[in-house]
Amino acid sequence: MHDPRDEEQRAPYDPMPHGPPVVGVGPWQGPWPEGRQWDPDLLREGDRRNVVDRYRYWTLEAIVADLDTRRHAFHVAIENWQHDFNIGTIVRTANAFLAAEVHIVGNRRWNRRGAMVTDRYQHVRHHPDPASLAAYLHALDPPVRLLGIDNLPGSMHLETTEVPRDVCFLFGQEGPGLSEAAREVCDGTFSIAQFGSTRSINASSAAAIAMHGWVRAHADLTGEDAWRG
């Protein structure tokens, strides 16, 4: 029977309404493990965070340090002139696919709701304008190419392009799409094929497609790590 108290306990991001009523694990049972990665508060209280099982009871700092040892070479960037609601979702997907960094171009403030706290585990960098982003990426070693992702006239096709390893995908906002200033500094613009009547897909959907294109081309899919939920 449906018990409304279950809903109170359920984490707001829980995508499995018929799964267990609470996410995560309770207090550690038995003698506490030794090591700097363990968080005494979580061991004592339990760990209800949205993290994969291998990071249960780890401190935030230890998780970020471990992710830093195996981040992928791709970056993602989004323009933020109107507080686009897609940014949080893009940050969450960038975390799942283990992007090197997420770049926000324009306003510093962004709507964190869709990120579901994943931004804490991600390096999020701000740039005042697209030229600053391009200069930052081109100065990295190895240099990172800035590819605008938008279905603009003259865009090349993402599906038939060999996605570079050292790349940053830049997305525009709902409505205006990539700004003129962004288009000018991109090393190329690429569209995602569409077949229906709508002019475009949602920016965070486009970001997921582009990031997954990188994963299919470059990520190591041989280890167990790639398939864990």
Maximum Cα interatomic distance, the chain, rounded to a whole number of Å: 63
Place of tokens 């694990």: 25
- Interaction of residue 194 with ligand SAM, rule CB under 6 A: yes
- Pair 147, 189: CB distance under 8 Å: yes
**Does residue number 93 form part of the binding site for ligand SAM (CB under 6 A)?**
no
Distance of CA 30 to the CA centre of its chain: 36
Does 191 engage in binding with ligand SAM (CB under 6 A)?
Answer: yes
For 149, phi and psi rounded to 5 degrees? -110, 105
Stretch binding ligand SAM (CB under 6 A), from 17-25, 43-51, 126-134, 192-200: 192-200
Minimum distance between the CB of residue 171 and ligand SAM, rounded to whole angstroms?
4
61 is an interface residue for ligand SAM by CB under 6 A: no
Of 91, 89, 100, 24, the closest CA to residue 58 belongs to 24
Provide CB contacts within 8 A for 149, sequence distance 6+: 158, 169, 170, 171, 189, 190, 191, 192, 206, 207, 210
Among 88, 106, 172, 213, binds ligand SAM (CB under 6 A): 172
Q: According to the binding rule CB under 6 A, does residue 174 interact with ligand SAM?
A: yes
Candidate ranges 3-11, 16-24, 33-41, 193-201; the one touching ligand SAM (CB under 6 A): 193-201
Stretch that binds ligand SAM, among 20-28, 111-119, 124-132, 173-181 (CB under 6 A): 173-181
Residue 184 touching ligand SAM (CB under 6 A): no
Nearer to ligand SAM by C-beta: 51 or 158? 158
Q: What distance, in Å, lies between the first and last C-alpha atoms of the chain?
A: 28
List contacts with ligand SAM (CB under 6 A): 149-151, 171-172, 174, 177-178, 191-192, 194, 199-201, 203, 206
